[in-house]
Amino acid sequence: MVASWWSRAGLGIFVHWTPASVPGWAPPYVPVDELPLAGRRAPLGWTPYAEWYENALRFPGSPVAAHHRATYGARPYAAFGGDFNDALANWDPTAWARDFRAAGARYAVLVTKHHDGFCLWPSEVANPHRAGWHTARDAVGEFAEAVRAEGLRFGVHYSGGLDRTFDDRPIGTGADIVSAVPRGSYPAYAGAQMRELIRRYRPDILWNDIAWPGSPTDVQRLIEYYRFAVPHGVVNDRLLPRAPIWRTLSLPGAKTLYNGRQRRTAARGEGFVPGRPPYHDFRTPASARRTGPGPYEITRGIGRGFGYNRNSPPEAYLGREALESLVRETAAGGGNLLIGVGPRGEDAKVPAAQRLRLDWLAELTRELTPDGSVPG
């Protein structure tokens, strides 16, 4: 049963802030849940998710690749890590935390490592493929301290399923995502980093993404470690352990069948709903509504992605009525809304279009019931 504090929270902020926030660019035109219907062989190369910038670069004909050539020439993605570290001098985590609290959030989840493998803390677990691929400043620790000082719970997002420093193959379809979950030394690396995050920061929320590279036993042991360290903590539903069926995607025609199923799901407007792992406290449908009984959390960005996208036109952001409806409908269904905020990489500031949406949420907060929950 999910912790009572989580079931009463209502609203959380999901911060995507990575080296991809430095170029901060993606084609915002097709919502991600509609990409499988766009008729491309590699739809994820055209994703509106700016945080997937590095992956989109691997498709020479993609809009991101054309933008990168015109703007940065042959500069490698890894160089943005240095820019990101330099911009940390401008970062004020306390200001973020105050804005999130004012918006009515009761918890905040920080992306500590996205699919590019860059860590927002000076990890003691050495990356064997890209040394120093992390912040010098302990952004995770400072963020945790700032949001907790404002009375918010703190969560860590960790990309357990993908890490391009271990497997950098281009990911064009849903089937490619499954195939790209790294093997070799990666399961031990990811396990050590996740335990390091738990040990150092005692996160109230453990928010894994995509899947987990290890076995069901590995997942069980990780969950047991977390439950012991943080008895009041909650776990999302994306700690999907590696399964034998994943190997079938290497068989002729298997990827075609898998991607065909995704297109049919998109055509029905069902969004993305993770498979059900053996251990979890709440479900996390993305770009979708509730899909069954039990605790759930709707995850989506303020725009058509989660990370900062300087190429987003006004119509790509949630309008005021749509945002209010999303908040109220989710609350009426007994769920939480985890809304994405993507700060800029060059100065660690939340862009004006996103701040405006936080202001709208703050106005909604003034209508809150005495116990601090969003009214249905």
- Helix (H) / strand (E) element for 197: namely helix 186-201
Compute the mean pLDDT over every residue in the chain, rounded to the nearest whole number: 90
Phi, psi (deg, nearest 5) at residue 325: -65, -40
Mind listing the pLDDT tens digit for each residue in 87-113? Answer: 999 999 999 999 999 999 999 999 999
Mind listing the pLDDT tens digit for each residue in 26-82? Answer: 998 888 878 877 778 889 999 999 999 999 999 999 999 999 999 999 999 999 999
Integer Cα distance of 57 and 77 in angstroms? 9
Q: Say if residues 212 and 218 touch (Cβ distance below 8 Å).
A: yes
- pTM, whole model, 2 decimals? 0.93
Of the candidates 243, 196, 234, the residue with the CA atom closest to the CA atom of residue 106: 234
pLDDT at 265: 59
Of the candidates 337, 307, 284, the residue with the CA atom closest to the CA atom of residue 48: 307
Overall average pLDDT of the 115-126 stretch: 98
Of the candidates 246, 219, 217, the residue with the CA atom closest to the CA atom of residue 235: 219
First to last CA, the chain: 23
**Using only C-alpha atoms, what is the Rg of the chain?**
19
